[in-house]
Structure 1
C-alpha cells in the first residue's frame, strides 16, 4: 500500500503524464486524505527505513496534519488516545534517527524541516502540558551531543524551527482564530510561562553565546534571534532585557552576517507593549544613542533595519512625552533621550535611498504632531526643539530635489513615480513645519526659491526644486493644513510670496528649456492669478509665454495638453483684465483649433464608436479648453461687436464645413462619426466660453449659433443611431440655450424626438436631466407645456420599460436601474417645482398620472436606496393633490 501511495503522489505531481492518469492519481490522494485511516498509512510511509522522496514525505505529513487538525477542532473519531501515543512515538523515533547526534543521513531540505516543525507543533497543541510536559526537555536532549548541551546543530536547528512554528500557531496576532482556539492558546502560553519560559530564555542566551562565532553557526544563531524576536511579544520581558542578555545581542550587531537579525530582534523588543515608565527604563537601560552611533552603516539592508529601530525608539519616546501625567524626572529623561535619537532619525530621513528614509517617516510625523499639539496649547518651542525642527525642514527640502541620476518622464517611469509618491508625503511634513513655525518655513523656502531664480549656471533640478517649493509656499497661504494664518496668510507671508512671484516673472528660467520647469511656471501663474490682479501689466507677458513653445505649442504632449487647460484657467480667472487681445490670441492658437478625430487601430468593431476612443487619449478634452478660452477672449467687453463677429465666424465656419464634409463621408464610417461628435462638442464648449466672457449677446452672434443648432440637428438626423452623436447634441444644445433663448425653442421638439427615439437605458438619466434643464430654462414660455405634453407619454413609457427589464445579477445593471429611478423621481420633482405639474393631468396624459402614482409608490416602497425613498415620499402627496384637482 505504501508503494501504491508513493506512486500516486509521484504521478499527481509529475507534469509529464497522461491527464487522465494524473486526475486518477489526484483523486486517489484526496480519498486517502479524507479516509479515517489514511494518516496511519502516510505516517508509516514517512517513517519508512527506505527514505522516500521529499515530495512523498511532504504529502505524508500533510495527511497526518489533517488528522491532527481535525482532533484539535474536537473530532475524536479520527484520532483516539492510543493513536496520539503512536504518532508521538513515531515522530520522536524519526527525529532521533534523522536529527539526533548520531545521524549520518543527508539533512532534510529546509521546506521539509519546516513541515516537520509544523506537524510537531500541531501535536504539541494537543499534548502540552497535560500528556507531554517534558516536550521542551525532550527536544533539548536531542539537540545535545555527547553530554554537551546544545551541541548537536541538526537537532538544535529543528528545535528552533519548532519554536517559530509554535509562535505562529499560538501567538501570531495577524492570524484570526476562533474563540475556542484563542482560549486554548492562552492556556498553553500560561503553561509555558509557568513551567518552561525561564529555561527557554536561558537556552536562547546560551545558543547565542555558543553559536554566534562558531563555524557553521550562522543559521542557528539567526533562527535563535528570530525566536527571541517573535516570542518576546508575549513573554516576561525581564527574562530578556538584562544587562548580560542585551550585551550579547548588542555584541552581535558587530557581526556582519548576523547584525541584521540582531537589529530585527531589538526592534521587536522595543515594540513590546508596556507601561510608559517601564518602556522608558528599557530604552535608557539599553543606551541606544551610544550604541547606534558606533554602528557601521555601510550596508543598505542593514541601514534600513537600523532606521526602523530608531523609528520605533523615537515613536515610543514621543508617546511618553505625550502622556499627561508623568513625574518631571521622567519627562526630563525622555526629552534627553529624544534629543539624542531624533538627529539620528533625521540623518536617516536624509539617506539617499528612499526605502531607508521612509522607515523614519512615522517618527518624523509623530514629532511634528507633538509640536503642533503643544503649539495649540501655547507651549513655546525650546531652543533644542527649534533646532530639530529646522533640521527636519532642511532635510525635507534636500529630499524633495530630483536625484542627479533621475530625469523627468511625465509619469511614465516607475522610479520617478516612486519619488513623486515620497515627495507628496514629504510635502505633508513640510506643511506641518509651516503650521508649527511660520518664520522657519517662510525664511527657508524663500531662500530656496530665490536661489533657484538667481542668474548664473543653474542645474534644472535645482530650479525645479525652487519652483516646486514656490508652489508649496503659495498653497500654504490657502491650505488649512499649512500656515497657521489660514486663508489670507500673514502680511509677511503675502509680501514674501508677491516678491517671489515678481522675481519669477522677471527671471529668465524659461531659457533653460526643461519641460518640467515650463510646466511649473504655467502652474504657478495660474495658481497665483490674484497676484496679477494687482500687477496687470504682467498679464501680456504671461500670455505670450502661454501661446509659445513653452505652453500650448510645447513639443512635449504632456506639457502641451496641460497647458491648454492652464491657459483656459488663466483666461477665466483674469478675463476682466485681459483687454482686447482677441485677434492676437486667435492668431496665436488658431492652428490648434483644428479637430482631427482618430480611432485606435486595435478597435476592430467599427460600429462601436466611443467618445473617448481616440488614439490621442486625453488630447481632445484638452483641446476643448482652447475652444472655450477663445470663446471667452472674444466675448469680453473690450472687444468691439464687429470684431467679435468676425472672429466668431473664423472659429465656427470651419467647423460647419467639417461637419458637412464628414456627414457626406460618414456612411457608418467610425472616423467620420467621431469627427462629427468632436465638431459638435467643440461648438458647445465654444458657446460656453462666449457666455462666460460676459459681453451682451448681439443678434449677429445669435444668428451664428442658430446656424450651429441647425448643423447639429442635421447631424443628429443623419447619425441618430450613434450614442456619441446623441450625447454631443445634448451637450451642445444645453450650452447654446443661454445664448439663443427662445429663438432656439422651435428646434427643441425636433431635438428631443430624435434623442428619445434612439435613447437607450444608460442614456435615460442624462436625457431626463437635459429635459429638466430645458423646462427650467423655458419656464413660463407658452410652448413649454405643449412640448412636455407631447413628450411625457413616450418618455415615461421608455422609463417604465427599462425598469421592467430583469436584472441579470450584475452590479452595473442594478446601479443603472437605481440611477434611472432617482432621475425619474427627480425629473417629476423638477416639473412640480417649475410649475409644470399640471401637464401630468392634461387631456393627453389622462391615464399617465395614475401610472405615475403607482410607479412612485412601487419604486419608493421596494427600493432600499434612501434617496429614492425620500424623493418618493416627497413627490407622492403633491401628485395626489394634482389627481384630486383633476377629478
Structure 2
C-alpha cells in the first residue's frame, strides 16, 4: 500500500515518512511486519479508507492522532528532556549584563540552540510543553520576590518562547484552541498582575516588556490590564529605569505596544503625553543635563506621540492643540540654539549645538509620519502648526556654520512637508530654494534636485512660475559646481 502511494505526487512525501518511521521503530522485524499487516486489515475491513461522507474526514483526522499518542513512559521521558532544556536556559550568576563580552555572546548563541531544541520537542507534544511551561511559570512567579533573578527571567522567557514553539496565524494565541488560549491567558494575567515588573534586575525587566509586547493581543481580550502596563513603561521600571540599556529598549517596545493597541489607547492619550513631557525635552550641551533617553530613543517617542494625537477620537481643534503643545517647545528651543550657534566661536561647541538643532528638526519630522491618506494634516487641523515649524527651521539654511548638518535636517523636514501639506507649503519653497543654492556644493545639488522633482510631481502647473524663476539660479549653481570640481582635479594633477 505504501509503495503504491509513492507513485501519487500528493501522497509521496507522507508515504516516505511513514515507511521511514516503520523501519526505525524499535521492534523485532517479524513482529513489526505482522503488526503493520494486521493494522491494514483492521482499517480496510470496515472501509475506513473509503471516504463517502463529510464526517469521515473528521473521523480519520481524529483516528490518525490516536496512532501517534505517546505512552506514559514516553511522556515522562519527553517531559524530563523539556525540563532539562529549560534548566539549561538559565543565566549563570557571573553573566555580565552591562558589559557583554565573548563569553556572554557564546551563551546567547547556546540559548538559541536550546530554543530550537525546545521547538522540536513542541512538535512531539505541544500540550506537554504548554503544561510544563505553565507549571514552571506559575510556581516561579508565585514567589518571585524570594527567587533568584535567573529563575524568574527564564520563567518569563519560556512564556515568551511559546509564541514560536506553538505558532498560530497572525499571533491569535487567545482564540481557537480553548485549552491553549486559557492557559496563555492565565499566565499573561499572572505576569501583569504579580508585580514582577518591579524585580530589581535588568534581565527580568527586559523580559517582562518583551513578553507583554509579544502577546499584545492579550490586551484586546483583557483591556483592563492596559493601564498598569502603560505605567510600567512610563515610570522607573521602563523609560526612567536606572539602566540606559533598559530605557533604550523600553522606548522601542513602548512604541510597538502603543501602535499595536492603537484603538484601545484613546482613554489614556493625554495622560501618556503629560507623563512623557520631560522625556521629550531637548538637551542642549550647555545645560549639563544628560537626558534619560538618547536622541534615537526620543525619535520613537515623538513618532508615537504624533500617532496617538492623529489617531485619537478627538475633534480637529483638540488635535491641533495637542500637536502644538508637542512641537512648540521644539520651536522655542530651536530659535534660542540657532542664535547661540551664530555667536559660538569654539568649533566643538558649534558642532554640539548643530547636532541639537538637527535633533529638534528630526523630532518634528518624525511626528509627521503619523499622518496618512485617511488622516491628513489638513483634516486633523494641524497645517498651521507645521507651517510654523517650517518658518522656524528655514533660517537655519542661511547659517554659515555647520552647514552640512543643518541643511541635511531641514531638507528632510521640507521633504516631509511637501508630502503632508497642500498648496500652503508653496509659499516657503522659493525662500528655501534660494538658501539651499547659496554657496552649495555638488552633494547639496544632489539633494536639491530630487526636491524639485517631488514638488513638480505633486503640484504640477501650480509650480510653473517657481520653476521659471529658479531655472537660471539652478543652472548657475550646477555650472559653478562643475567648474569647482574641474579646478580641484587640475590642482590635484599639478
TM-score, structure 2 normalization: 0.72
Q: Is the 1:720–1:758 contact (alpha carbons within 8 Å) kept by the matching residues of 2?
A: no
* Alignment partner of 2:368 out of 679, 682, 687: 687
Q: Which residue of 2 aligns with 1:435?
A: 123
Q: Aligned partners of 2:326 and 2:481: how far apart in 1?
A: 43
- RCO higher in structure (CA 8 A, sep ≥6): 2
Q: Is the 2:418–2:425 contact (alpha carbons within 8 Å) kept by the matching residues of 1?
A: yes
Secondary structure of 1:634's match?
helix
Q: Aligned partners of 1:475 and 1:326: how far apart in 2?
A: 26
Q: Aligned partners of 2:98 and 2:199: how far apart in 1?
A: 18
Asked if residue 465 in structure 1 is aligned to residue 146 in structure 2, the reply is no
Q: Aligned partners of 1:582 and 1:518: how far apart in 2?
A: 24
Q: Which residue of 2 aligns with 1:415?
A: 103
Q: Which residue of 2 aligns with 1:631?
A: 306
Asked if residue 730 in structure 1 is aligned to residue 411 in structure 2, the reply is yes
Q: Aligned partners of 1:617 and 1:760: how far apart in 2?
A: 37
Q: Is the 1:553–1:560 contact (alpha carbons within 8 Å) kept by the matching residues of 2?
A: yes
Q: Residue by residue, what CA displacement relative to the aligned partner does 1:667-716 show, whole Å, maximum 9, x if unpaired?
A: 36112211211111111112324669948645862212111011111112
Q: Which residue of 1 aligns with 2:356?
A: 675
Q: Aligned partners of 1:788 and 1:439: how far apart in 2?
A: 72
Q: Aligned partners of 1:637 and 1:587: how far apart in 2?
A: 15
Q: Residue by residue, what CA displacement relative to the aligned partner does 1:374-399 show, whole Å, maximum 9, x if unpaired?
A: xx999847657655543332221111
Q: Residue by residue, what CA displacement relative to the aligned partner does 1:414-454 show, whole Å, maximum 9, x if unpaired?
A: 43332222112211222222233322222222222222321
Q: Aligned partners of 1:526 and 1:330: how far apart in 2?
A: 43
Deviation of 1:723 (Å): 1.9
Q: Aligned partners of 2:307 and 2:84: how far apart in 1?
A: 45
Q: Aligned partners of 1:379 and 1:651: how far apart in 2?
A: 63
Q: Which residue of 1 aligns with 2:241?
A: 554
1:93-172 to 2 correspondences below 5 Å: none
Secondary structure of 1:513's match?
coil
CA 553–379 in structure 1, closer or farther in 2 if over 3 Å, else same: same
1:470-509 to 2 correspondences below 5 Å: 470-478=159-167, 488=172, 491=177, 492-509=179-196
Q: Give structure 2 stretches of 5+ with no counterpart.
A: 1-15, 30-63, 490-494
Asked if residue 519 in structure 1 is aligned to residue 199 in structure 2, the reply is no
- Structure of larger gyration radius: 1
Q: Residue by residue, what CA displacement relative to the aligned partner does 1:598-635 show, whole Å, maximum 9, x if unpaired?
A: 59xxxxxxxxxxxxxxx999821111111122222233
Q: Aligned partners of 1:799 and 1:536: how far apart in 2?
A: 63
Q: What RMSD, in angstroms, separates the aligned Cα atoms of the two structures?
A: 4.2
Q: Aligned pairs, how many?
A: 423
Q: Is the 2:244–2:292 contact (alpha carbons within 8 Å) kept by the matching residues of 1?
A: no
Asked if residue 592 in structure 1 is aligned to residue 279 in structure 2, the reply is yes
CA 617–432 in structure 1, closer or farther in 2 if over 3 Å, else same: farther
CA 325–675 in structure 1, closer or farther in 2 if over 3 Å, else same: closer
Asked if residue 400 in structure 1 is aligned to residue 89 in structure 2, the reply is yes
CA 763–420 in structure 1, closer or farther in 2 if over 3 Å, else same: farther
CA 530–720 in structure 1, closer or farther in 2 if over 3 Å, else same: farther
Q: Give structure 1 stretches of 5+ with no counterpart.
A: 1-320, 335-375, 600-614, 809-887
Q: Aligned partners of 1:788 and 1:771: how far apart in 2?
A: 12
Q: Which residue of 2 aligns with 1:787?
A: 467
Q: Residue by residue, what CA displacement relative to the aligned partner does 1:535-564 show, whole Å, maximum 9, x if unpaired?
A: 222222221111111111111111111111
Q: Aligned partners of 1:388 and 1:465: how far apart in 2?
A: 22
CA 433–586 in structure 1, closer or farther in 2 if over 3 Å, else same: same
Q: Which residue of 2 aligns with 1:740?
A: 421
Q: Residue by residue, what CA displacement relative to the aligned partner does 1:724-773 show, whole Å, maximum 9, x if unpaired?
A: 22221122223333542221122234334544556655666665655554
* Alignment partner of 1:711 out of 368, 373, 392: 392
